[in-house]
Amino acid sequence: MPYNGGEPERMSQKISNPRGTADILPDQIPAWERLETLSRNILKTYGYREIRTPLFEEVGLFKRSLGETTEVVNKQLLEVRSQRSDDEEAGFALRPEGTAPVVRSYNQFNQGREEFLSKLFYIAPMFRGERPQKGRLRQFHQIGAEAIGRGANHPLLDAEMIALAVELLKAFGLEQGSFTLKLNSLGSAEDKAKFAGWLRQELKGKIDHLSEDCRNQYERNVFRLLDSKDKDCQTVIQGLNIGTRHLSESGLKYFDQVRQGLDHLGIRYEVSANLVRGLDYYTHTVFEISYAGLGAQDAIGAGGRYNGLIEQLGGGDPRLPGQTGAIGFALGMERILLALEHQGKSAAFKRSIEVFVVTGKAEYEAQAFGLLHSLRQAAISADMDFGGGRAFKKQFEQADKLGARFVLVLGEAEIQNSTVALKNMATGVQTSVAVGQVVEELRKHLK
């Protein structure tokens, strides 16, 4: 609309990303790529194969797997619905975690019939509708691994899964002494049920003196009181002296074998009787890895065994009921990057290209463009200024900003002699190279 002498039309307000989400900008991408590449390499070394499930699933999947009383289902599910009036499909929710979708896929495609043990991993975004804060976003990213099948019932697989999580964190740059691994066992489903009953009995006369939130948790899911942040509740829980009293003889033996496996690998851990994790499907081994430098949101990874979930979601072999084992973990990518930053070992690094082509005049850009194409055809990462013959200084500043290792200069003398000036940006050494020999010469330097 043309200006007519009155008040200029107000510019439209910028639109920001939704609260609780974050743009991962180009300068940050190398750090993310590093975590992803290291993860894929290590996970494949352990025999895990990648799986990719949809971003959303039926709400019922999470209610059945995570539990109707969990905070994730009650407060944090981000539900989505079709606006089509004729759509009779069930409600959907953006996935809040990766295990339930992987199990749903495992069951749907009958992987258990084909494989004695399925080892799967994912690197994917998750979504929860919770109050955003540092290290706790509504969209976050996880690296996860799941081992499922009749061959997934051995305690040494629990030790392997924990060792794998530790190996990944160390590969990212976090030394084992900088994070804490906590370990516990909930025992079998029967042990867990008896444990819940014992807790209710022990807390029965004490719960009335606690907060409303603690009283609600007592009614809905008594295990949530074990890792409650309420100080009064924790004082009561500490007084119970829980230990391993809830474990049956077989449950205690299983836990001992897991610990022996970790001891054999030299992996340090703390046994924490109050560690239960927040999802209903866990049995036997549960673990959590924390980094104190992150403050209140200090968990950077967690996992555990979830025997029974496969059958609970309609899978398993009816001829062998209850024999499908499963264990997994997930690491939070945002929190790992924060921990690396806190340690001064940030995984972020400057993205660099190998070669930048500089021209002395605008009329040389066609030759530069052809040279650029030949470099890329030879799989040498390269770029040029596209600035219409900007000053050499500006072009070299652009090359430096991009982290170019070498600069190829096309000036008047080079055009006349069919050569280029090859400059090493680290040493400052500059040599003259025939145009036809540029690719070969660069390959020598880039080895």
The torsion angles phi and psi of 313, rounded to 5 degrees, stand at -100, 20
- 293 in the same domain as 266: yes
- 426 in the same domain as 335: no
- 159 in the same domain as 43: yes
Question: What is the average pLDDT value for the chain, to the nearest integer?
Answer: 89
Rounded CA gap, 338 and 300, in Å?
10
- 384 in the same domain as 307: no
Rounded CA gap, 124 and 138, in Å?
14
Number of domains in the chain: 2
Structural domain ending residue among the three candidates 310, 342, 374? 342
The whole-number pLDDT of residue 5 equals 54
Domain residues for the domain of 429 are 355-446
Higher pLDDT, 27 or 375: 375
Q: Which of 369, 425, 375, 362 is nearest to 397 (CA)?
A: 425
- The SS3 assignment for 433 reads strand
The whole-number pLDDT of residue 145 equals 98
pLDDT digits (tens, 9 = 90+) for 71-126: 665 568 888 877 665 555 668 999 999 999 999 999 999 999 889 999 999 999 99
The whole-number pLDDT of residue 76 equals 80
Sheet hosting strand 270-271, strand order edge to edge: 49-50, 118-127, 139-149, 325-332, 299-305, 283-290, 180-185, 270-271
pLDDT digits (tens, 9 = 90+) for 342-353: 988 875 566 789
Rounded CA gap, 57 and 101, in Å?
7
pLDDT digits (tens, 9 = 90+) for 408-438: 999 999 999 999 999 999 999 999 999 999 9
The whole-number pLDDT of residue 215 equals 80
Structural domain ending residue among the three candidates 309, 342, 375? 342
Residue 445 in tokens: 């330097």
Structural domain ending residue among the three candidates 289, 309, 342? 342
Domain containing 433 — which CATH number?
3.40.50.800
- 157 in the same domain as 64: yes
- 145 in the same domain as 273: yes
- 379 in the same domain as 263: no
pLDDT digits (tens, 9 = 90+) for 16-41: 999 999 999 998 999 999 999 999 99
- 360 in the same domain as 314: no
Query: Model pTM?
Result: 0.87
Q: What is the mean pLDDT of residues 189-203?
A: 87
**Range of lowest pLDDT (218-222, 251-255, 432-436):** 218-222
The whole-number pLDDT of residue 133 equals 76
pLDDT above 90 covers a percentage of the chain that reads 63
